[in-house]
């Protein structure tokens, strides 16, 4: 499993911003009404980020010797979920940010301003999910010094290499 990099995440955010901004600006210019952002979106992002942090914390505790056992498959699932949160947060945060950016041209219109604010709140929650995913993924990395193979906490936890 390839570890996360800020460069790759920033690329996903940038592409998402450009695509969402371009599509929304084009549709709004053609007279389409903007779509409201559901309240469940930021709530779902925050819940997913919280789960990633909670699962990552158990692997972190194991690696620091505070837990006796962590199932290797659970550690692997934690890394996969953390990476999914990071990439999803990048795409959603960028897309919602681009959508809000397109709506700022209509800031004087109260209903469109309300949708832009909703999109910004949801984008902030998506960025929080991205950050939670990155943190959880970092907690799941194992130090591969070459000195200790299959010995001590974190050995064989199925996590991404450092």
DSSP 17-55: HHHHHHHHHHHHHTTPPPPPPPTHHHHHHHHHHHHHHHH
In a domain, 145, yes or no: no
In a domain, 76, yes or no: yes
In a domain, 96, yes or no: yes
Residue 8 has pLDDT above 70, yes or no: yes
Cβ distance 9 to 87 under 8 Å? yes
pLDDT in tens, 21-57: 999 999 999 999 999 999 999 999 999 999 999 999 9
Closest CA to 82 of 16, 162, 161, 138: 138
In a domain, 155, yes or no: no
In a domain, 129, yes or no: yes
Q: Global pTM?
A: 0.83
In a domain, 156, yes or no: no
Which residue has better confidence, 152 or 81? 81
Give pLDDT, residue 146: 45
For the chain, how many helices (H) and strands (E)? Answer: 4, 0
Split into its structural domains, the chain has a count of 1
Give pLDDT, residue 38: 96
For residue 72, give its domain range.
6-30+38-139
Torsion angles phi and psi, residue 90, rounded to 5? -65, -45
In a domain, 80, yes or no: yes
In a domain, 162, yes or no: no
Helix (H, G, I), strand (E, B) or coil at 161: strand
Question: What are the CA-CA distances from residue 112 to residues 88, 92, 108 (Å)?
Answer: 25, 19, 8
Give pLDDT, residue 115: 95
């Amino acid at each position: 499993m390839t570890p996360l990099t800020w460069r790759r995440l920033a690329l996903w955010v940038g592409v998402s911003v450009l695509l969402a901004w371009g599509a929304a600006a084009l549709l709004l210019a053609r007279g389409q009404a903007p779509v409201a952002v559901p309240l469940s979106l930021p709530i779902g992002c925050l819940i997913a980020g919280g789960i990633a942090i909670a699962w990552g914390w158990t692997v972190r505790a194991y690696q620091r010797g505070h837990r006796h056992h962590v199932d290797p498959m659970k550690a692997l699932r934690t890394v996969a979920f953390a990476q999914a949160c990071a990439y999803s947060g990048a795409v959603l945060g960028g897309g919602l940010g681009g959508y809000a950016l397109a709506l700022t041209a209509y800031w004087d219109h109260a209903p469109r301003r309300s949708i832009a604010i909703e999109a910004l709140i949801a984008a902030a929650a998506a960025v929080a999910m991205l950050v939670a995913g990155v943190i959880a993924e970092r907690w799941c990395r194992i130090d591969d010094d070459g000195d200790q193979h299959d010995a001590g906490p974190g050995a064989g936890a199925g996590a991404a290499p450092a």
